[in-house]
Structure 1
Amino acid sequence: MRVAMIGTGYVGLVSGACFADFGHEVVCIDKDAGKIGRLEDGIMPIYEPGLDLLVANNVKAGRLKFATDAAAAVAAADAVFIAVGTPSRRGDGHADLSYVYAVAEEIATLVDGFTVVVTKSTVPVGTGDEIEAIIKKIRPAADVAVVSNPEFLREGAAINDFKRPDRVVVGIEDERARAVMSELYRPLNLNETPILFTGRRTSELIKYAANAFLAMKITFINEMADLCEAVGADVQQVARGIGLDGRIGSKFLHAGPGYGGSCFPKDTLALVRTAADAGSPVRLIETTVQVNDARKKAMADKIVRAMGGSVEGKTIGVLGLTFKPNTDDMRDAPSLEIIPALIAQGAKVRAFDPEGHEARHLLPQIELTEGPYEACAGADGLVILTEWDQFRALDLGRVKELMNGSALIDLRNIYRPAELQGRGFRYTSVGR
C-alpha cells in the first residue's frame, strides 16, 4: 500500500521505516528541509537502536522516501498518517493540537479519491471528530475516513515494539477503513498480533489510559520505596513479591527518581485536563502527577543528605542524563530537576551520558565528560541517574581511586548494597 507519513519525529520516522520494511511504499514528509536532507544522507535526527540501518535498507530498496512537499505523496496515498507533536500547552496542561489541525487543513486540499487519514499522534478524546470536521469544512466533497491508531512504542525498543506489538488499536467510524488498516498491518498476522477495532473515541482514550496506568504503577512502587526505607524493608523484594501475581505483573515496578520522557508527563496531564473538562475527574491520575513532580525534587534532597547534609563547594559526578537508557530523549528527565537543585545549593556537577547531547543546551552549567570515569575523577560523591548498561559493570576499584569522597548514590538500584559497602563506599540506594 502507499503511505504518506506526515512528521518525521520519533513516532513518524520509526512508524514510516517499519511500514516500509513490511513492504509498503512510504513517503515521510517534514517541512524542515534541513532535516529531510540529513535523512536522505542517512543521518538520523534521533537516537534509536537499529533505526539507521532500517532506514538505509528501505531507502536502498526504494520503499522509503523523504520529502518536504506533501502534495504528490498525499494525493497518491491509500493512508495518510498524522504523526506530529502534541506537547503540553503552556499555561493549562492541555495537549497542544495546533500542529495536528494544521496538517488536517493541508490534507484536505491534497487528498485524491478515497483516503484513510490516520491519527498516530497522541491526542485527546474527540480529536478525530475535529479533524474530520476540518477536512469537511475546507473540502466538503473529500472522500476520507478519519481513523485513530495510537502508538505504543517504547523509546530504545521502538522497532521491536512496532513489529512485535502486544496489540494494535484502531478506532474507526467508517467501515471502509477497516480493510485498509487490516492490509497495512497484515504482516503482523504471522505473529498472531491482536488487532482491536473499536470506536474512534475509545481508541483515543485507550492510549491515555494505558500511559496513565503505567505512570501510576511507577509512582506506586516509588511510594512503596519510601515506606520501605521508613520501616526497614527492601522495595526490590516487595516488587518481586507482588509482581509474581499475574494480576499485577512485574513490569514498571522499578523504584527510582520518578518518570520522565516524551509521553508519561504530558499524557497524564492531558488526561487530567480532559477528565476535568468532561466533569469526570480522575483523582488517582491527579495524585500521580503531583507525587511524581514532588519526587524529582525530593531526590535532590536525598543526595544532599547522603553527602553529609551539604553540597556547598563539593563536586558531584553524575552518570546518566536522559530519562531512560537507549535514547537521547531528555524531555522531563529527572536530571533536569535534580541537577539544578544541587547546583543551587552550591555543588559543581560533572556528568556523562552516552547520548545525552542535549544537556549542552538544557544544562549549560554542568561540565560534560567523555566517559564515566572522567565524571568520577575528583568527585566528592557519585550519583547514578540513568541505568545505561555500561554503568552496571563499572570498575569499582577504579571509581574509588578516582573519587575524592566515598558517597555513591544509586537512584536506579543497579548495585548490591553489601558489595558497595564492602568496597568502602557510603552507598545509598532507593527503598533498600
Structure 2
Amino acid sequence: MNIAIVGTGYVGLVSGTCFAEMGVNVTCVDVNEEKISSLKNGQIPIYEPGLDEMVLRNHRESRLNFTTDLSSCLDNVEIVFSAVGTPPDEDGSADLQYVLAVARTFGQHIKKYTILVTKSTVPVGTAKKVKAAIQEELNKRGVNIPFDVASNPEFLKEGAAIKDFMSPDRVVVGVESEKAKELMTKLYRPFLLNNFRVIFTDIPSAEMIKYAANSMLATRISFMNDIANLCELVGADVNMVRKGIGADTRIGNKFLYPGCGYGGSCFPKDVKALMKTAEKYGYEMRVLKAVEAVNERQKSLLFRKLERYYGGALKGKTIALWGLAFKPETDDMRESTSLVVIDLLLNAGCKIRVYDPVAMDECHRRIGSVVEYAADMYDAVLNADALLLLTEWKQFRLPSWGVVKKSMNRSLVIDGRNIYDAQEMRLLGLIYHCIGG
C-alpha cells in the first residue's frame, strides 16, 4: 500500500516511520528543503527514543522516502495524510493556513480517487473547509475527480510515541463513505494483530475526540494541583489523597500526580482552541477556563516557594534548575514551566545554572546565554542557593545527595514533581519543599 504524509514534524515523521515499519510504502513530504535533505542523509530533526534507528532502517530499505513535492507522488498513493502544524493564532484559535494549503495542493494535482486524511489536531468543522478547498481547486481545473476527506487524530505521547503508535489504546477514524472506511481499514489491518480497537465515527466526532481527550487530561492535572495546594494549607498529605481517590475505579490513578504545571505542544494549545471553538458557537467552557488559570498559576509556584523561603531577597542568589523540557524523554520546551521559572528568576536578579539531559541545545536556541549551561547535574548545583527540580528525568531520581549537599551554599531543594521522599530528604539534612507539602 502506498501513502504520503505531508509534514515531517513530530506527528508526521513518527506516523510515517511507524507505517513504514509495518510494510507500508511511505513518502514524507515537507516544504522545508533543508529538513528533507537532512532526513535523506539520516539526520533526524526531533528527539524521540528509538526513532532515528527506525527512520534509517526503513529509508535504507526504501519503504520510507522524502520529498519536497507532494504532486510528484500523488499518482502513486491511495491516501494522503495531512500532518502539518496548527499553531495557535493570536486569539488562541488554531491557525489552519497550512492545513488548507495542503488541501489546495491536493485538489490541484490529484488524477484519481484519493483520500485526504487530516492527522493534525484541528477544530470541529475543519473537514468541511478542507473539502471545500479541494472542490474549489477541482472546479478551477474543470474536472470531476472523486475524493474523500477523513479525520484520524493522533494520540502520541512525546517520549513514548513509537509504542503509542504501534500498540495504541485505540485508533479513531472519522469518515463520510464506505469506500473511505474500507481503505482506512485496509491500512490499519496490520495493526489489528495487536487486538486494539479501530473506532469509526463521523468526521466532526473524530475532530472533537482529540480535543476532548486532551482537555480531560489537562483537567485532571489542574484539579490535582488545586487539591495539592489546598492540602498544603490544611495539613493533608496530597500523596495519600491521590492514592485514596485513585483507588476508586470510577476515577483511576492516571494523571493524578500534582506538579508544577503542564506544558508541551498539545495540552495548552488544545485547551485554548476548544474554548475558542465554543466561543464561536456562543458557549463558554467554564471548566476549561479554570483549568487554564490553575495551570498558569501553578507554573510560578516553585518561584513563589523560593521567594517565600528567602523572604523576597533573591537578588544575587544562584539557583540551579534540573530539567528544562516540559516532560522527560523529549527536548520539547514549548509552554514548559522552566521558561516561566527562568523569566521570574531573571527578573528577581538571580543567577541561573541549568541542566537537562537532552534539552540544553533547545534552551539555548530559545533564550540564548541568559542562563549558565552546566556540564552535568552536579555541576549545576555548585555554589547554588537552591535547587529546583522541574522535569522528572530518571537520572534525577536517585542522585548522590551527599555530593549535592556539599556542593550547595544552602541545601534547599524544591521538588516540582514530588519524586523525592520528604522524610528521607530531611533525615539527610536537606531543606525540602514539594507540591502540596
Query: Which residue of 1 is the match for residue 391 of structure 2?
Result: 386
Partner of 1:220: 223
Provide the C-alpha distance between the structure 2 equivalents of 1:370 and 1:31, rounded to a whole number of angstroms.
36
Q: 2:363 aligns with which of 359, 373, 376?
A: 359
* Residues 261-300 of structure 1 aligned to structure 2 (within 5 Å): 261-300=264-303
| Alignment partner, residue 94 of structure 1 | 93
For 1:130, give the aligned amino acid.
K
Which whole-Å CA distance do the structure 2 matches of 1:34 and 1:3 have between them? 22
Does structure 1 retain, via aligned residues, the 8 Å contact 2:150–2:174?
Answer: yes
**Over residues 230-284 of structure 1, what are the superposed CA-to-partner deviations in whole Å (9 max), with x where a residue is unaligned?**
1111111211111121111111111111110000001000000001111222211
> Per the alignment, in what secondary structure is the counterpart of residue 339 of structure 2?
helix
Partner of 1:104: 103
What are the superposed Cα offsets for residues 142-185 of structure 1, whole Å, 9 maximum, x if unpaired? 32100000000000000000011110000011221001111111
Partner AA of 1:420 in structure 2: M
- Amino acid aligned to 1:70: L
Q: Per-residue deviation at 1:305?
A: 1.8
- Asked whether 1:206 is paired with 2:193, we answer no
The whole-number CA distance in structure 1 between the counterparts of 2:66 and 2:306 is 46
User: How many angstroms apart in 2 are the aligned matches of 1:383 and 1:28?
Assistant: 40
- 2:11 counterpart letter in structure 1: V
Which residue pairs with 2:19 in the alignment?
Answer: 19
Question: What SS is found at the alignment partner of 1:11?
Answer: helix
SS class of match (1:89): coil
The Cα shift of 1:294 comes to 1.9
Structure 2 residue aligned with 1:247: 250
Give, in whole Å, the separation in 2 of the partners of 1:20 and 1:307.
Answer: 55
Aligned to 2:376: 371
DSSP-derived class of the 1:280 partner: coil
Kept after mapping to 2: 8 A contact 1:257/1:412: yes
8 Å CA contact 2:317, 2:351 repeated in 1: yes
TM-score norm. by structure 1 comes to: 0.98
> Given residue 206 of structure 2, which amino acid in structure 1 is its aligned partner?
S
Structure-2 residue corresponding to 1:259: 262
Say if 2:302 and 2:388, in contact at 8 Å, map to a contact too: no
Question: Which residue of structure 2 aligns with residue 328 of structure 1?
Answer: 331
| Counterpart check, 1:142 vs 2:145 | yes
- TM-score normalised by the chain length of structure 2: 0.97
1:35 aligns with 2:35: yes
RMSD: 1.0
Residue 308 of structure 1 and its aligned partner are, at CA, apart by 4.5
Kindly provide the CA deviation profile for residues 88-142 of structure 1, in whole angstroms up to 9, marking residues without a partner as x.
Answer: 102x110011111111111111222110100000000000111000000110423
SS in structure 2 of the partner of residue 286 of structure 1: helix
How many angstroms does 1:189 deviate by?
Answer: 1.1
More moved, 114-123 vs 135-144: 135-144
Q: Percent identity?
A: 49
Distance in 1 separating the partners of 2:300 and 2:145? 51
Count residues with an aligned counterpart. Answer: 431
Report the counterpart of residue 49 of structure 1 in structure 2: 49
Paired with 2:391 and 2:435, the residues of 1 have a C-alpha distance of 13
Matched letter for residue 135 of structure 1? I
Counterpart for residue 420 of structure 1: 425
Please state whether the residue corresponding to 2:73 is helix, strand or coil: helix
Q: Could you tell me whether the CA contact under 8 Å between 2:138 and 2:145 is conserved in 1?
A: yes
1: CA distance, partners of 2:191 / 2:249 = 26
CA contact (8 A) 1:306 1:428 kept: no
**Counterpart residue number, 1:187:** 190
Letter in 2 for 1:252: F
- State how far apart, in whole Å, the 2-side matches of 1:59 and 1:362 are: 31
User: Which letter maps to 2:348?
Assistant: Q
| Aligned partner of residue 424 in structure 1, secondary structure | coil
Task: Quote the offset at 1:326 in angstroms.
Answer: 0.2
Secondary structure of 2:413's partner?
Answer: strand
1:429 aligns with 2:428: no
1:381 positional shift = 0.6
| Structure 1 unaligned blocks of 5 or more | none
Q: Secondary structure at the match of 2:300?
A: helix
**Aligned equivalents of 2:293 and 2:6: distance in 1?**
34
Question: Counterpart of 1:62?
Answer: 62
Q: Is the 8 A contact 2:302 2:414 kept in 1?
A: no
Equivalent residue, structure 2, for 1:395: 400
Bigger drift between 230-239 and 44-53 goes to 230-239
Mapped partners of 2:10, 2:189: distance in 1: 23
Kept in 2, the 8 Å contact 1:7–1:28? The answer is yes
